Structure 1
Amino acid sequence: MTARIVVAGQAEGPVVHATEGLSFWGGVDPATGIVIDAHHPLTGRCLTGTILMMPTSRGSCTGSGVLLELALNGRGPAALVFRGAEDILTLGALIAGRMFGRALPVLRLDAAEFDALSRTAHATIRDTHLQADGLHLPLSPPPMSAMQLTAQDHAMLQGPPAQKLAMEVICTMAAQQGATALIDVTQAHIDGCIYASPANLLFAEAMAEMGARVCVPTTMNAISVDRQNWQAQGVPPQFGGPASRLADAYVQMGARPSFTCAPYQLPTVPAQGEAVAWAESNAVIYANSVLGARTVKHPDFLDLMIALTGRAPLSGVYLSEERVARRILKVDVPPGADDAVWPLIGYVAGLRAPDRIPLLTGITVSPDADALKALCAAFGTTSAAPMLHIEGVTPEADQVDPNADIATITREDLAAAWRQFNAAPSHIDLVALGSPHFSLNECQALAALVAGRKTQVATIITCGHDTIAAAKANGTLAVLEASGAQVVPDLCWCSISEPVFPPHARTLMTNSGKYAHYAPGLSGRAVRFGSLADCVAAAVSGRAPDHLPAWLR
């Protein structure tokens, strides 16, 4: 047997085997290396110095920045071992070694090798072999690039320092993905502008100082502070300053300060079949699934590299054959279901298809854009797949492997997910809405529910600037603010921190499956979940429902 080196390096340490993928953003504390994802089997485990084995990663594209920070502060795993394709943590390890001299080896094993290593307690990785409790695996070198590059590609490889580095990293990632060519992209969306750790700032400012400049229209994800108001909000300068500088670095490199995690709400939304380079997991899944655009789930840092060159590896779901559903999920949608059903379906679909694109069937109620947003975002927390199909809804739902296997999502499965999200006490201190960012339609629906009522607990909605401007113009913003709700730009719930996040809040309620999953680890608070109407009722009364909704009983 010969295992494959993806990122070269040497390491030694105890073997830690994760039976399911882990998102490092929202799942691992970048300062300590401890797993903070409350829903993961390794929760509470410290990964520092370990040979960490996973089938693949999952979740947020920002995981590459978290891994880079762990590598730089000496709290990261000693090595990563995957059974399948993986880009997010691989890119973080590649940047750690190439830009900062912190080698963190990454290996890929086949199923038999992976299972054999998972049964060992300690492993040593050297340049040519892996040794572990009687197991000896020769290691093949990193894949050599056989890229068919254009004259312009070659020119960029000999170009200014930032562009040269970008093309080198793109070609290295392409080689490990098995790509033999690059593809032009029409636009990019940057996820690395979230201040996940000092490493994100170190990378961005280093690139800006090298003269990096985007060459395709580039939007930016939500950032970690309200850029114009963070000082007045009392955000500590030691956090607000670096977070603001991180955003400034990307603006300096030519990115548009859109600051939204829902770029599909912008006027620049791509058309079906258009090749783009988006990072941010929910945005990638929505773009591929709902819009029919094409983008791989690009890791943080690679998003910038592609924006600097306009070129991406021609691999993954850029290719038609990789967009095919290989699992059919038959969904039992309970009669009378409210809007909470969509994130529950997405969350369970990710659990049922953690490593492949599914086709969801049996959904007879047509979901609108906001329902699809909620479904896609929740799916991305539990699956590594970059897209899904919904029969009769999404544009490529006829693309199904004839050998696709079949699984089910029952009412009992949805109820189990609801209970998982509602284990906290019913007393609510905070209602958190806008993960991903609220649309104008969602703001209007919320305004209709709160009109003439007053919230009794903190109620915060995060939105993009374009949405806030439209809500102000049509009077929706005034209704929300009159109820006591606060509308916040620039931030999203996965990047919000105290004091914008109310320090006194102990239990929050949200209608987002994505945030219900990540909030315990990111905020340290208990969580309740429900429909938008349930969230409004909690905002007014300070209490969440104590029982399953009628449609789940």
Structure 2
Amino acid sequence: MVSTSPENRLAIEGHVLVSGRAFGKLVASQLELSFWGGVNPETGEIIDRHHVLSGKYIQDTILAIPSSRGSCSGSGVLLELLLNNKGPKGIIFQRREDILSLGVIVAEEIFGKAIPVLTIDATDFQQIQQWDGRCIFIDGSNISDHAINKKPGQHQSRNTDNERKLPLSNVKLSDLDKAFLEGEHGEASRAAIRIILRMAKILGATELMDVTQVHVDGCIYTGPGSLKFAEKLRDLGGKVRVPTSLNSISIDQKRWRIQGVDSAFGEAAGRLASAYTDMGARPTFTCAPYQLESAPKFGEQVAWAESNAVVYANSVLGARTMKYPDFLDIAIALTGRAPKGGPHVDLHRLASLIIRVPTIKNVATIDDSFYPLLGYQIGQLASSCIPAVLGLEALNPSKDDLKAFGAAFATVSSAPMFHIVGITPEATSLNVVIGPKELVRTIDVAPEEFLECWDQLNSSSKNQQIDLVSLGNPHFSLAEIRTLASLCRGQIKESTVNVMVTCSRSTHGLARQAGFIEELEEFGVKFMTDTCWCMITEPMIPPSTKAIITNSGKYAHYGPGLTGRDFYFGSLGACVEAACHGRYRGTKPRWLLDATNSSSITSSIKTGASG
């Protein structure tokens, strides 16, 4: 708790996630932050243009945020920041946090460089906000405005196994776990199990469990650190022990040279992908592994990274995975072992928040912009809570609708899943997916909130020419390519507008067999495989591009910070219209106008709704 002397001194006792000592100016916010797409790993600038800290630099600061949110690649960004000395000297969270903490653990375990990471309770977190901009000290579990005992160092380095005692806590080890720790299966597996066990301690897990498959997000090139990490594991003899798929990488492997990508970047990103395939992972290179034939079944225990994939697996497939940070994913793949906690366990899949959505009277007016916008809105309301959503029972969302909803939800929420009553597989009724009723809150969504989210995603106030139509974040499915072809058929694209679609190699092959690729390329669509929009920069985005339109809530959020361009959001049909006319009219869809017209809104849910 906080204590203050007559001189208004600061003294807080926290809970240590990663031990260390540090001193720096406090940068504090009560809003969660995604480091991927939210912090520049080369400069330390906060580039999430929707965040209250946008434009600030975290180098040499003590950063205090409630938790991370969004992408699992935040661990990779933090590793790069620490290795190039652009990161914070310490981090304070309000809640237990996995993604950024794992980045620090990897920096310590693999590179001998770390910073202190602590959690403090909600009351203390509110109090520490008042110290924003002032210098504070961290020493072990103590946070104060004055040095404790001795001058702290900028980073705490750990170089030998003797100096890095493994905090096993109460984690029960199997014979296989012990063999990994003893190095009987090689040094790569030994390093991997150490990382897993340190994360298990943070999670409060008392044992490890087997998983049937892994989806690795750490193949994204965040900088030299991500490459050194993967190549070190490979060179130590690392081989995956369970089927392992790979997320989108930072380049289109087959086309990056002709696309004009910088050779140093392209070669480094290619080496990173090769390091993972050398360890036995499949070159699937998709951020939508649920579209693959290998997608897990209901109840299957897996270890997936990539925020939208995690949310989809848990929520839509009914498989079980935590929101695994980059680097923890490959550690689990090398051992087949994961902490038994989080959404792997029934208790941690229950909702603690009920969100009641106003019902649109004329369901026929709903287009595909509805689901990403709603996901974005609900993600903001459920910043860290698993929500149970009511009011959509009359709808029949497709897999792609739920993909769009989940991706936008995962962009602004740290929760690993959602339930939509009557739609997602575990939510057959409200009662079966909510936790103890005394701990559950209920929020009624006001129709006007739809408009607020629409304006957030349409972040440019200018009515200007569209230069680029961005589609496929997450990766386009075969059904979406088919729909795009039907919308473009008989139309003529404006010559000044680029239309680009990202999808997996698998989907691209199926679409080519169906004749859609040739048809869309004739219209003027360019396809990229292997990579996705959160990794695409110049020259694939032409330097002359000023304004981009997308149907992705996820990319509409991250895009302004990642690209520096103006962004617009709309339905797929609106994107095609902009491609043909060179301008986005910004007309709000009929369902949105209806939602904000009180005469068109009815509520099918009564107060105190039950299952």
Q: TM-score range by the shorter chain?
A: over 0.9
Alignment-derived partner of residue 250 in structure 2: 224
Deviation, structure 1 residue 200: 1.0
Cα deviations by residue, 1:92-132 (Å, 9 ceiling, x for unpaired)? 01111221122211011112232233322221112363222
Q: Secondary structure at the match of 1:213?
A: coil
Alignment-derived partner of residue 464 in structure 1: 504
Pair 1:294 & 2:320 matched: yes
8 Å contact kept, 2:166–2:198:
no
Pairs within 5 Å for 1:30-69: 30-69=41-80
Alignment-derived partner of residue 586 in structure 2: 546
Alignment-derived partner of residue 158 in structure 1: 182
Alignment-derived partner of residue 156 in structure 2: none
Cα deviations by residue, 1:475-523 (Å, 9 ceiling, x for unpaired)? 1112111111011111100111221222221100000000000000111
Q: Secondary structure at the match of 2:311?
A: helix
Alignment-derived partner of residue 409 in structure 2: 379
Q: Secondary structure at the match of 2:238?
A: coil
**More displaced 10-residue stretch of structure 1: 327-336 or 43-52:** 327-336
8 Å contact kept, 2:168–2:197:
no
Cα deviations by residue, 1:230-264 (Å, 9 ceiling, x for unpaired)? 11221111211101111111111111000000000
**More displaced 10-residue stretch of structure 1: 494-503 or 299-308:** 494-503
Alignment-derived partner of residue 343 in structure 1: 372
**More displaced 10-residue stretch of structure 1: 367-376 or 152-161:** 152-161
TM-score by length of 2: 0.88
Alignment-derived partner of residue 99 in structure 2: 88
Distance, in Å, in 1 between the alignment partners of 2:116 and 2:583 is: 49
Pairs within 5 Å for 1:184-333: 184-333=210-359
Distance, in Å, in 1 between the alignment partners of 2:141 and 2:358 is: 51
The structure 2 residue matched to 1:412, chosen from 448, 453, 456, is: 448
Pairs within 5 Å for 1:424-503: 424=460, 425-426=462-463, 427-456=465-494, 457-503=497-543
Distance, in Å, in 1 between the alignment partners of 2:292 and 2:28 is: 41
Distance, in Å, in 2 between the alignment partners of 1:429 and 1:467 is: 26
The structure 2 residue matched to 1:525, chosen from 565, 586, 589, is: 565
Alignment-derived partner of residue 144 in structure 2: 131
8 Å contact kept, 2:44–2:86:
yes
Give 5+ residue unaligned stretches, structure 1: none
Deviation, structure 1 residue 156: 1.1
8 Å contact kept, 1:143–1:176:
no
Deviation, structure 1 residue 133: 6.4
TM-score by length of 1: 0.97
Deviation, structure 1 residue 549: 2.3
Distance, in Å, in 2 between the alignment partners of 1:15 and 1:357 is: 30
8 Å contact kept, 1:8–1:127:
yes
8 Å contact kept, 1:270–1:276:
yes
Alignment-derived partner of residue 149 in structure 1: 173
Deviation, structure 1 residue 135: 11
8 Å contact kept, 1:455–1:485:
no
Distance, in Å, in 1 between the alignment partners of 2:83 and 2:491 is: 50
Distance, in Å, in 2 between the alignment partners of 1:237 and 1:23 is: 28
Q: Secondary structure at the match of 2:144?
A: strand
Distance, in Å, in 1 between the alignment partners of 2:143 and 2:352 is: 33
User: Which residue identity is paired with 2:64?
Assistant: M
Distance, in Å, in 2 between the alignment partners of 1:144 and 1:306 is: 17
Query: What is the number of equivalent residue pairs in this alignment?
Result: 549
Alignment-derived partner of residue 9 in structure 1: 20
Alignment-derived partner of residue 367 in structure 1: 397
- State the percentage of identical aligned residues: 48
Closer, same or farther: CA 128–411 of 1 in aligned 2, 3 Å: closer
Deviation, structure 1 residue 551: 2.4
User: Which residue identity is paired with 1:528?
Assistant: Y
8 Å contact kept, 1:9–1:126:
yes
Deviation, structure 1 residue 547: 3.2
Distance, in Å, in 1 between the alignment partners of 2:534 and 2:253 is: 16
Deviation, structure 1 residue 134: 11
Distance, in Å, in 1 between the alignment partners of 2:247 and 2:215 is: 7
Distance, in Å, in 1 between the alignment partners of 2:122 and 2:260 is: 51
Give 5+ residue unaligned stretches, structure 2: 2-12, 150-164, 594-611
Alignment-derived partner of residue 206 in structure 2: 180
Distance, in Å, in 1 between the alignment partners of 2:255 and 2:128 is: 51
The structure 1 residue matched to 2:574, chosen from 509, 529, 534, is: 534
Q: Secondary structure at the match of 2:535?
A: coil
Alignment-derived partner of residue 4 in structure 2: none
Alignment-derived partner of residue 27 in structure 1: 38
Q: Secondary structure at the match of 2:354?
A: strand
Deviation, structure 1 residue 358: 0.2
Aligned CA RMSD, in angstroms, stands at: 1.6
User: Which residue identity is paired with 2:515?
Assistant: G
Q: Secondary structure at the match of 2:352?
A: strand
User: Which residue identity is paired with 2:500?
Assistant: I
8 Å contact kept, 2:72–2:324:
yes
Distance, in Å, in 1 between the alignment partners of 2:278 and 2:187 is: 17
8 Å contact kept, 2:16–2:141:
no
Cα deviations by residue, 1:309-341 (Å, 9 ceiling, x for unpaired)? 001001111110000011011112433221101
Structure ID, larger Rg: 2
Pair 1:115 & 2:144 matched: no
List structure 1 runs of 4+ shifted beyond 4 angstroms. 133-136, 141-144
Distance, in Å, in 2 between the alignment partners of 1:46 and 1:429 is: 31
The structure 2 residue matched to 1:514, chosen from 554, 557, 561, is: 554
Distance, in Å, in 2 between the alignment partners of 1:128 and 1:147 is: 22
Distance, in Å, in 1 between the alignment partners of 2:167 and 2:560 is: 39
Distance, in Å, in 2 between the alignment partners of 1:214 and 1:498 is: 34
Cα deviations by residue, 1:410-455 (Å, 9 ceiling, x for unpaired)? 3211111111222423320000000000000000000000012232
**More displaced 10-residue stretch of structure 1: 126-135 or 251-260:** 126-135
8 Å contact kept, 1:8–1:142:
no
User: Which residue identity is paired with 2:521?
Assistant: E
Deviation, structure 1 residue 52: 0.6
User: Which residue identity is paired with 1:524?
Assistant: G
8 Å contact kept, 1:4–1:142:
no
8 Å contact kept, 1:6–1:143:
no
8 Å contact kept, 1:316–1:322:
yes
Q: Secondary structure at the match of 1:119?
A: helix
8 Å contact kept, 1:23–1:60:
yes
The structure 2 residue matched to 1:400, chosen from 434, 438, 452, is: 434
Cα deviations by residue, 1:347-371 (Å, 9 ceiling, x for unpaired)? 0001111010001110121111000
User: Which residue identity is paired with 1:378?
Assistant: A
Deviation, structure 1 residue 190: 0.6
Distance, in Å, in 2 between the alignment partners of 1:82 and 1:125 is: 13
8 Å contact kept, 2:137–2:146:
no
8 Å contact kept, 2:139–2:148:
no
Alignment-derived partner of residue 356 in structure 1: 385
User: Which residue identity is paired with 1:516?
Assistant: A
Distance, in Å, in 1 between the alignment partners of 2:499 and 2:80 is: 32
8 Å contact kept, 1:117–1:132:
no
